[in-house]
Structure 1
Amino acid sequence: MDLTSSADTSLQKVITTRQFVLMALSSSIGAGVLLATYSSLAVGGSGSLLISFTVVGFAVWITMCALGELSAAFPVSGSFYEYSVRFISPAWGFAMGWNYVINFIFIVVFELVVMLLCTRYWEPNLPAYYVLPGFISGLVLVNAFGAKWYAEAENVFAVCKMIVLTAFVIVAALIVNKNIPADTRPAEELGFNLWVQNAFRHGPIGFLYVFMTAGMAYGGTEMLGLTAAECEKPQKVMPIACNIVPLRILWLYLVPIFMLGMVLKVSLDGEVQSGGISPLVAAMDQANLPIIGSIFNGIIIIAIFSMASASVFASSRALQAMSARGMGPRLFAKIKRGYPIWALALVFSISLLSFIKISKDGDIVFNWLLALASGSNYFTWISICVCHIRLRLAIRRKRLENRDVLKWQSPPGIGGSMIAIVIFVFGLAAQIIAAVQSPLPNPPHVLSSFLGIIVVFVFWAGYMVLGNSVLLTPLDQIDLQAKATEPVENDENV
């Protein structure tokens, strides 16, 4: 099969605009913002946390606009790495596709383990084999009925996420204004006094560490490009998502993070580093509101389950699209009755790695597996922005007008994509520096922080050698026609 041809689009287009809009609001909110912000607050402080999330959030919005422009003009299954193949090179598209598949497969494992840790908030010695089979079965059930019911479940989860984050902001405001009788802390230990006191911890290294966390927390926003391939009106929904993302970043990221710094006093200890409790729950505990803390913890488990479900969806669709191109095993390209059944089977098989936490040295093995995903988000976002820039340059090279090719244009334009690339490159550099100069008392092995970056370049270099790919597709050879995509074999006998 020609590797520069488009992949299969025989996935069912059943996701409605209403479902897509709610998914755009909160589908990728998971452990990154609901749990990892705890250690980030302890390491970098409230000021570093807010600044880093604002900067990365701005760049993510630019990236979503770039992806919206690409998706409206070229609606294809596989989304951003399809664009990497078309606008950068087959080798880079191959590396980005597998990078994304590996990233989200292991995010499924990560989210399962995080859900286990959250349940131990109520019962510290709760065995993993009591909990994990139920969560895995739930993920199978949500994904067993196809994209339409997956989207419907995500809508329910989205409402839960919006409720818990909005409720936290309201309760935090009441705490700051001393309207919670159970909270006996003096007013000077809360609000702006607490925020300013802990604004910038551990200096520049603390800021770099938090910047790295922000990249992880926004991960998955781009999966809307994958979801659009199974939407009834893909050319309509991506521009809508681009307009929704700024609201989502402000409402569900920045405001809760700002309020968190005003009500949660935190020190860098083992409990924080383990990631076993959400800072939202910890803030309720410090305010002597254990019942609200338990309610928040329950909804947070639902929210993390949602991210695990979204990761199953993203990784299976990415694997199917890659394999449909001939860039993966043919088995995973097959679609049965509208579902990428074999890709889903692989994802659920690997999800069983979450049981590693039971074994001796399980934490060490788990951390190294998770490190495979390190840097993935920044690479994905950089690739989307580079594709957008090269699309515009190809239009100019062929002496066409933007309106001749584009159905919708990104408001930040090509300059915005350049700014976003600079921010993301800084994020990758921050990850490396923060790993070498980690302020954590028990930092992971330095090599583990480089592993994800190494994997990307191994895939890229391997394809360059074995696939005889060009380093960069010439601008005048880039295909600007939004043509129908090639079908692959579908097995309807199941």
Structure 2
Amino acid sequence: MLKDTEKGNLSSSEPSAHSDSASGAVETTFPMASRWNRFIDSFKPFPVAEIDPNLSEVERANIMAAASPLQRSLKSRHIQMISIGGAIGTGLFVGSGSALSSGGPASLLIAYFIVGILIFCTVHALGELAVTFPVSGSFLQYNTRFISPSWGFAMAWNYAMQWIVVMPIELVAASITIQYWNDTISPAAWVAIFYVVIVFINFFGVKGYGEAEFVFSFIKVIAVVGFVLLSVVLVSGGGPKHEVIGARYWHNPGPFNHGFKGLCTVFVTGAFSFSGTELAGLTAAEAADPRKTLPRATKQVFWRITLFYMCSLTMVGFLVAYNDDRLLGASTDAASSPFVIAIKDNGISVLPSIMNVVVLIAVLSVGNSGVYASSRTLASLAQQGFAPKIFGYIDRQGRPLVGTVFTLFFGLLCFLAASPQEADIFAWLMALSGLSSIFTWWSICLCHVRFRKALAVRGRGTDELTFTSAVGVWGSMAGVILNFLVLVSQFWTALYPTGKSPNATAFFQAYLTVPVVIVFYFFHAIWKRKEYVLFIRSKDIDIDTGRRDTDLEVLKAEIAEEKAHLRSKPFYYRVYRFWC
């Protein structure tokens, strides 16, 4: 199926590539040359094999995803920290303020808990798939493999748009965050500084992203843990004012605002807050040892939901009233963050500025993740034939160079921060991808259901899987239903906004993603009408291409040995390994 396009031996100026049989990693060895020449040569394309043109579209996509030359440089500590802190961003630190204002503290906890269940099911489904198939594009490629090429096309472009738009928006948000201290300097100046920082980080490829996110995530995790501990002290009357707050705001103004519709509104904010949780799956192709690192990253989502969201938002509900006017600020304004408001109202003078620094770091972290996710998504699109081939250009350092440059070029929209029309422009950019995460999670759960069905049809079981979802296929079915219900609740609240009359502009700014996805789907269906399939039949699904462990009998023996070893351990250790 592969044709060797490299004729003869590589010349002395060309790199030689070989595979590490233990890790499956492809290493590139450069000949002796000057540092400058090695630097220039690193931007040349990585030598790859040509795919047999006689294969079907799905077969070509599966082989390209498995043979991608992305560098496998992400270590365990990178993926662990990306998993723990990757979803802690402006959605938690700032967006939770608008959610509290819309629904009250009880709605905040209920909605985030239900979305947390959805995320738990989704991440475990993704973990099983990503460990089994650690391929380029990960869940983006799974849609083409397990559902249909047309749905894969729609979902991949939907996801690419989500992250391409994120970078300029987050850079503008960072400039707004700075105004907490100084509002006399033009936002464009700060945007320029942050833009250079993001470019510098991504210049180092996956290593730069991994190290930056390790530091960013570590700071965010420490900040959330510190806030929870501080909140317990403040609620108990241990703050500078020595005032016992207790459950005061649960009694006045009360636990709910706007009733059931307020709860439905919070669902959407909760989903936005958890966006980016799936990034650990996108790193599968660049993980040094996905079989060991991804399962641990997947299991840690339970602790992320419990500690970083449920605990911190419980304390926010105790410390800030939902009718506080400051919560109604801009969605990127740190002054409207309930975390900052809670600390400031209790007479602590220095900590609000420290928390604002954390908000700034969270914003830059999301912008950095936007470049990583969109560049890898564009490369996956090109590999599947869904985008121009140039986007599949991966250099000798494993960087998807054209995708990165394209994303950074689009990021120049951040300089609209100096334009009076900036708010309207970015509102519509956000509308293009406002519900992208919901569609992504829904597709991941459905892919998992289809994968298990394909295994069953062939008479094969989960004994050949290194890692299996803790909630199984039933959890993925629940994820499909919950994601659908979130879409329904968003349709209702978009059509009839809380406290407002129906408005076409407001509706499309909240629900534009749905018609965009439909347009993408039918565009591909018409474009590939001769190859179009509504659903790939279970018996035709490829469940072998892309596996790093190709000898299933040896793999089964290793898995059985690992399980037997775990059973020999004490009960407390087995419980620990189940959750961690």
Gaps of 5+ in 2: 1-52, 549-580
Structure 1 residue identity aligned to 2:256: F
**Structure 1 equivalent of residue 79 of structure 2:** 20
Please say if residues 226 and 314 of structure 1, whose CA atoms lie closer than 8 Å, have aligned partners that are also in contact.
Answer: yes
Please say if residues 31 and 114 of structure 1, whose CA atoms lie closer than 8 Å, have aligned partners that are also in contact.
Answer: no
Match of 1:458 among 519, 523, 526: 519
Q: How does 1:36-185 map to 2 (within 5 A)?
A: 36-181=95-240, 183=241
Please say if residues 39 and 268 of structure 1, whose CA atoms lie closer than 8 Å, have aligned partners that are also in contact.
Answer: no
Please say if residues 140 and 155 of structure 2, whose CA atoms lie closer than 8 Å, have aligned partners that are also in contact.
Answer: yes
Give the secondary structure class of the aligned counterpart of 1:191: coil
* 1-structure distance, mates of 2:499, 2:195: 32
**Structure 1 equivalent of residue 446 of structure 2:** 386
Give the secondary structure class of the aligned counterpart of 2:434: coil
TM-fit CA distance, 1:341: 1.0
Distance 1:445 1:270, change over 3 A: farther
Give the secondary structure class of the aligned counterpart of 2:172: helix
Give the secondary structure class of the aligned counterpart of 1:221: coil
* TM-superposition CA deviations, 1:374-400 (whole Å, max 9, x none): 211110001000000011111112222
**Structure 2 equivalent of residue 215 of structure 1:** 271
* 2-structure distance, mates of 1:428, 1:322: 25
Gaps of 5+ in 1: 486-494
Give the secondary structure class of the aligned counterpart of 1:360: coil
Please say if residues 123 and 278 of structure 2, whose CA atoms lie closer than 8 Å, have aligned partners that are also in contact.
Answer: yes
Supply the RMSD in Å over aligned alpha carbons. Answer: 1.8
* 2-structure distance, mates of 1:57, 1:430: 16
Match of 2:435 among 358, 375, 395: 375
TM-fit CA distance, 1:441: 6.8
**Higher mean Cα deviation, 413-422 or 124-133?**
124-133
Distance 1:461 1:268, change over 3 A: farther
Please say if residues 142 and 149 of structure 1, whose CA atoms lie closer than 8 Å, have aligned partners that are also in contact.
Answer: yes
Distance 1:399 1:372, change over 3 A: same
**Structure 2 equivalent of residue 252 of structure 1:** 308
* 1-structure distance, mates of 2:493, 2:472: 32
**Structure 2 equivalent of residue 193 of structure 1:** 248
Please say if residues 343 and 352 of structure 2, whose CA atoms lie closer than 8 Å, have aligned partners that are also in contact.
Answer: yes
TM-fit CA distance, 1:268: 6.2
Please say if residues 96 and 379 of structure 1, whose CA atoms lie closer than 8 Å, have aligned partners that are also in contact.
Answer: yes
**Higher mean Cα deviation, 286-295 or 75-84?**
286-295
Distance 1:240 1:271, change over 3 A: closer
* 1-structure distance, mates of 2:451, 2:203: 37
Normalization by structure 1: what TM-score? 0.93
Please say if residues 23 and 155 of structure 1, whose CA atoms lie closer than 8 Å, have aligned partners that are also in contact.
Answer: yes
**Structure 1 equivalent of residue 420 of structure 2:** 360
Match of 2:405 among 345, 357, 371: 345
**Higher mean Cα deviation, 145-154 or 3-12?**
3-12
Structure 2 residue identity aligned to 1:191: G
* 2-structure distance, mates of 1:450, 1:149: 35
TM-fit CA distance, 1:320: 0.8
Give the secondary structure class of the aligned counterpart of 2:278: helix
**Structure 2 equivalent of residue 413 of structure 1:** 472
* 2-structure distance, mates of 1:19, 1:258: 29
* 2-structure distance, mates of 1:353, 1:270: 28
**Structure 1 equivalent of residue 510 of structure 2:** 449
**Structure 2 equivalent of residue 476 of structure 1:** 539
User: Are 2:263 and 1:203 aligned?
Assistant: no
Structure 2 residue identity aligned to 1:219: S
Please say if residues 134 and 546 of structure 2, whose CA atoms lie closer than 8 Å, have aligned partners that are also in contact.
Answer: no
Q: How does 1:279-428 map to 2 (within 5 A)?
A: 279-337=338-396, 338-404=398-464, 406-428=465-487
Distance 1:437 1:39, change over 3 A: same
Match of 1:230 among 270, 286, 289: 286
* 2-structure distance, mates of 1:240, 1:435: 38
User: Rg larger in 1 or in 2?
Assistant: 2
Structure 2 residue identity aligned to 1:384: I
**Structure 2 equivalent of residue 262 of structure 1:** 318
Distance 1:340 1:196, change over 3 A: farther
* 1-structure distance, mates of 2:91, 2:269: 7
TM-fit CA distance, 1:143: 1.0
* 1-structure distance, mates of 2:423, 2:514: 21
TM-fit CA distance, 1:149: 2.6
Structure 2 residue identity aligned to 1:472: F
TM-fit CA distance, 1:191: 2.5
Q: Quick one: higher RCO (CA 8 Å, sep 6+), 1 or 2?
A: 1
